[in-house]
A and B are shown apart, each in its own frame.
Chain A
């Protein structure tokens, strides 16, 4: 169990954490999700003791560790860029936490062998980190962090430096590992897909604050505000009304159609029709030049005969429209949509944390 209360952290004039409180129950896998600069990494590093808070407290397993150095917090930390000990073999890397505690050699050996098997690196123990692939290096880093039996496992964009395929494989592997090992885990990511894929609970951060905490279904189906809706899953704005692209209904205009545009209902020009396997994404532009996308099934697309250059009515049905507040302190939807676009583009890593 990790409890952070009233955490505040400033870097010069930039407020990275602004009165953040979060409770992370034992044995769960929680993702801290947000765009860059949202404070998610700072929150994780504060839990680890790698940053010291300007205000607030961190309690790990009932012990107030706010003023305790990282060495004594009982944590395991995994970095985006592996932080491998390059001059040591894989075995020595994994054994590091145990050898500096002067544990008996036989015990260290047994523990390292066990961990190397868990992370699938048996047979690689005599290699150096430079001789491993990125995915292997990160699994080594994970074994190294787990070797000291940490109270909590903290992962800072652990798959951010890997290519899309390895990333997807590794996060599913991490989820299975977590189901076996059950150590309380906190994972920082800017990738909503990754958060939805692995986490029991997601905390969405924006501008140093937590916007919403909940399980993936709740966040997707019942977002508290426009930022959460925009950041988790894709979103389109139909005449100013926010709606999920797959909820948009497209209609062909009748020959003598005189209906006017209104909230949740606009006449738009089809710019492009993209087939995404089962789904078809229709890229649209309304009379004001505002671009948005709708997603329909192939059947519907064929039935309507959607072709680029033609006009259609895009309607946000009332059951799909949620009247959401802006997040406090005005998170502009356009801004959020941009962040979402960056986050959902597979393979594009977030630039390293400032």
Chain B
């Protein structure tokens, strides 16, 4: 049997649970509930009409398409970066390690300006991805970079190298060992990092606002559609698309958590 989670006095526990519930209510639940209420101001049919309006639907489709692409890109590149940072030695490794977190610190609008000046119409490097979906992918890849790296890195640091040596002694080549032995161990971390990157990507606004071009049905993402809806005084439409984004994010994170948890539980099960 796993040990009980809390070992503090029952009184202390109810106090801390109360504090957490209150905090989450004020910070998360209440705004979300208000948003949801707002989106149904026109009834279920009003909500449905708002979400299925052609431009709204197109914006949601672009958002999800691009976010899935970015999440998958992150899954591969983030794992590779984490691997290199943990397993390889090279000069400047510490600097690179710190660099990973910078996209978190930079105001996303700054990222957008930088990307626009680098890859926009006056690109000094000759790459023009302004107002294309590639522009969106690059902007979102920039802001979501740390998620997979930071969730895989600690798992890789903890990983038992002897397990890989055991696989080698049994005849497994490097790629086989990675696929059959290392990857299954990293999978929960990769999945949860990818999920977070995806959730961040579908809600991202600042970094895509300039480089994306905001072309309806082409590069306009849901967050830009929402902004536009608010500007033309259609708050119900804005709320409805927001709630749809929330629902997608919630379901995605929930499913991934269950999937990642299943693998982990099996490994850690105690006699």
Task: Report A's interface with B, CB cutoff 8 A.
Answer: 48, 50, 69-72, 75-77, 79, 81, 83-87, 96-97, 100-101, 128, 130-133, 141, 144-145, 147-148
Contacts and interface: CB of A to CB of B under 8 A. Distances in A.
Contacts of A48: 169
Interface stretch (B52-60, B66-74, B160-168): B160-168
Contacts of B181: 85
B165 A50 contact: yes
Contact of A97 (B162, B163, B171): B171
B267 A81 contact: no
B185 interface: yes
B271 interface: yes
Interface string B250-271: 0000000000000100111111
B173 interface: yes
B170 interface: yes
Contacts of A144: 166, 170
A14 to B, nearest CB: 20
B168 A87 contact: no
B168 A70 contact: yes
B172 interface: yes
Interface in B138-184: 160, 162-163, 165-173, 176, 180-181, 184
A257 to B, nearest CB: 61
A133 B167 CA distance: 21
Q: Is the interface of B mostly helix, strand, loop or mixed?
A: helix
Contacts of A86: 163, 185, 267
A145 B166 CA distance: 9
A131 B169 contact: no
A131 B269 contact: yes
13 contacts: A72-B171, A75-B169, A76-B169, A77-B169, A79-B162, A79-B165, A84-B163, A85-B163, A96-B180, A100-B180, A131-B271, A141-B166, A145-B169
Q: 10 tightest A-B contacts by CB?
A: A97-B170, A77-B169, A83-B166, A83-B162, A87-B184, A86-B267, A70-B168, A83-B163, A130-B269, A79-B162
Nearest to A69: B168
Nearest to B264: A87
A71 B267 contact: no
A129 to B, nearest CB: 8
Among B160, B171, B184, B269, the one with the most A-chain Cβ atoms within 10 Å of its Cβ is B171
A100 B170 contact: yes
A96 B269 contact: no
Nearest to A99: B180
Nearest to B271: A131
A100 B166 contact: no
A147 B185 CA distance: 23
Contacts of A131: 269, 271
| Residue in A48, A97, A148 with the greatest tally of chain B CB atoms within 10 Å | A97
A79 B171 CA distance: 16
B221 to A, nearest CB: 37
A126 to B, nearest CB: 12
Contacts of A84: 163
Given A50-B165, A83-B162, A87-B185, A128 B267 contact: yes
Given A131-B271, A148-B171, 17 more contacts: A48-B169, A50-B169, A70-B168, A71-B172, A79-B166, A83-B162, A85-B166, A87-B185, A87-B263, A96-B170, A97-B170, A100-B172, A100-B176, A101-B171, A133-B271, A141-B166, A145-B170
A115 to B, nearest CB: 13
Contacts of A79: 162, 165-166
A47 to B, nearest CB: 11
Nearest to B187: A87
A254 to B, nearest CB: 62
Given A100-B171, A100-B180, A77 B166 contact: yes
Contact of B267 (A77, A130, A148): A130
Contacts of A70: 165, 168-169
Nearest to B161: A83
Contact of A77 (B165, B180, B270): B165
Nearest to B179: A100
B170 A148 contact: yes
Interface in B211-269: 263, 266-269
Contacts of A87: 184-185, 263, 266-267
Contacts of B269: 128, 130-131
A335 B267 CA distance: 43
Contacts of B267: 86-87, 128, 130
Contacts of B173: 71
Contacts of B270: 130
Contacts of B185: 86-87
A128 B266 contact: yes
Contacts of A133: 271
Contacts of B180: 96, 100
Nearest to A81: B162
Contacts of B166: 77, 79, 83, 85, 141, 144
A94 B185 CA distance: 18
Nearest to A71: B171
Interface in B27-49: none
Contacts of B263: 87
Nearest to B165: A50
Interface in B67-121: none
A67 to B, nearest CB: 15
A97 B170 CA distance: 5
B271 to A, nearest CB: 6
Contacts of A83: 160, 162-163, 165-166
A100 B173 CA distance: 9
